[in-house]
Structure 1
């Protein structure tokens, strides 16, 4: 049986005005592009505006073979992240313009379409959090990127962990306190809780033990954009292929290494 995956929620255009460059992105978008390129059927459920960025995003995702039948176009501006590069490689977020993403909500048809997929990816910013219990109850595999916000009280992530199968979080250091948190997160429901640590690799807890993975060296660092999203994509593809946790983490590290050697995140 062919497994279908869906990126539901947030999408935006990263715009580097100084370089006169933009590209379609968002946690689930980057994830979906990598999986589509690996031969996995991917759909996107989100929204773009009627501006040039919305048109270009639809064209780019369609060219990747992604199903954009539920990538809605609404009157207004596509969500935009104004970006810059520090030291030539490190991304800097200058300003977020929500545009049509601000009030986006899935329709009943969108919700039914999402449930035709086996694996669903979402994040904190795509206005899909209220659907997590439904996805969980329906037996779908939920992959969620909590980014750097998993411990931020504003986002109340502990309400969402019970409905997620693979919880990904971002930190800077592997500490005893972090391991206690990752273990706590996994205990709330996820099959696996993963903490990516930038150039220090990643750790994961599966309810029995911690797994550790180092980085894969990149010959030439070009741009750190998309490193986390690509790690999750590599991990997900290996998971779909039936690989164990260590192999999934290694696949994530390998794909992330390739991506940071490119300007685009995919």
Structure 2
């Protein structure tokens, strides 16, 4: 059976809201504290599963209460967590300060950084689905991400990489990536080009293709997203959201939805439309994984809100 194999981070998000973000040395009064399962790997796996894809999670959490809760929540969303390692380090955490619809985040990787490249590669080999998809980010150790991605490519999987947070990547990683998904900040890091105009996006695409990436998606938040690759070059508008409450999980929802729709046999253009629809519902809710909609919710809400892609 075709599946989405996700290698990535799992964190417990510790969230607090405040009127203004504290400055250095300052304490401010917060409110509405809550904990929420997160981490880019866990978020994207949750999105892929809720949006219709059989999904397997690979990674590492601690042998603590946070780790147990993360696995329980992922499993409840339909993610197969049987291959997640219980390590010796504490489970990763993210401390999130929310001011309005914006947020500031500090992450402690913990168990996410525990797996070696050899361990990561072995997990991929043992779980690689025939004709499936592989999805990774940059919140785990560099050696582990590289080994997992390159092994997935060798195993014949279609590979998607979301290099967030941005850091230096080896040529092997670029060569092993079928679809690279970057936001504006990551795009600027890897190309030196801030994708603010169609011309700038064209220059960024050219540099990423020259690096070895066959297909690239640049996400521009509320401005939409762009694609360049085998299916041509086109722009996908953002889909109207019912309201904007919290942008924390929007990017991860977009990527998980992209993988889910591609696994179903959709074109990249179709997948980007669906991903934009899913992200629109996510920003209307508070939190990361708890804000991610199901496929049925996306289809119900967005009747009459469908946007058509336009060619650049």
Distance in 1 separating the partners of 2:210 and 2:231: 10
Mean Cα deviation higher: 112-121 or 190-199: 112-121
Q: Quick one: structure 1 residues 130 and 66, their matched pair in 2 at CA, closer, same or farther if it must change by over 3 Å?
A: same
Aligned match for 2:179, one of 147, 163, 166: 166
Number of equivalenced pairs: 259
1:263 is aligned to 2:286: yes
Please show how residues 195-206 of structure 1 align to structure 2 within 5 Å.
195-206=218-229
Q: Which moved more, 1:139-148 or 1:249-258?
A: 139-148
Unpaired stretches in structure 2, ≥5 consecutive residues: 17-30, 185-194, 293-312
- Cα distance in 1, alignment partners of residues 122 and 61 from structure 2: 17
Moved more, 102-111 or 44-53: 102-111
Query: Residue 148 and residue 203 in structure 1: after superposition, are their counterparts in 2 closer, same or farther (change >3 A)?
Result: farther
Looking at structure 1, the residues matched to 268 and 231 of structure 2 have their Cα atoms a distance apart, in angstroms, of: 12
Counterpart CA distance in 1 for 2:217 and 2:165 is 12
1:102 corresponds to: 113
Judge conservation of contact 1:165–1:189 (CA < 8 Å) in 2. no
**Cα offset, 1:79, TM superposition:** 0.6
Q: Is the 8 A contact 2:10 2:92 kept in 1?
A: yes
Supply the distance in 2 between the matched residues of 1:132 and 1:107 (Cα, whole angstroms): 9
1:9 aligned residue: 8
- Name the CA distance, whole Å, in 1 between partners of 2:234 and 2:7: 28
* Residues 1:50 and 2:63 are matched in the alignment: yes
Q: Give the distance between the partners of 2:91 and 2:201, measured in 1 at CA.
A: 36
The match for 1:194 among 194, 213, 217 is 217
Larger radius of gyration: 2
Match of 2:73 among 60, 63, 70: 60
The aligned counterpart of 1:91 is 103
Superposed counterparts of 1:224-243, under 5 Å: 224-243=247-266
CA distance in 1, matches of 2:78, 2:222: 32
Q: CA deviation at 1:243?
A: 2.2
Task: Quickly say closer, same or farther: Cα 1:206–1:122, change in 2 above 3 A.
Answer: same
CA gap 1:155/1:145 in 2 versus in 1, 3 angstroms: same
Q: Which has the higher contact order (CA 8 A, sep 6+)?
A: 2
- The ranges of structure 1 where at least 4 consecutive aligned residues each deviate by more than 4 angstroms after the TM superposition are none
Aligned counterpart for 1:132 among listed residues 138, 144, 149: 149
Change (3 A) 1:102 1:35: closer
TM-score by length of 1: 0.88
1:159 and 1:199 mapped to 2: Cα distance?
32
1:14, distance to aligned residue in structure 2 (A): 1.4
Distance of 1:144 and 1:201 partners within structure 2: 19
> Matched residue of 2:139: which SS?
coil
User: For residues 215 and 164 of structure 1, do their structure 2 counterparts lie closer, same or farther at Cα, with a shift above 3 Å needed?
Assistant: same
| TM-score, normalised with respect to structure 2 | 0.76
Alpha-carbon distance in 2 for matches of 1:108, 1:250: 33
Aligned-pair RMSD on alpha carbons?
A: 2.1
Distance 1:6 1:124 in 2: 15
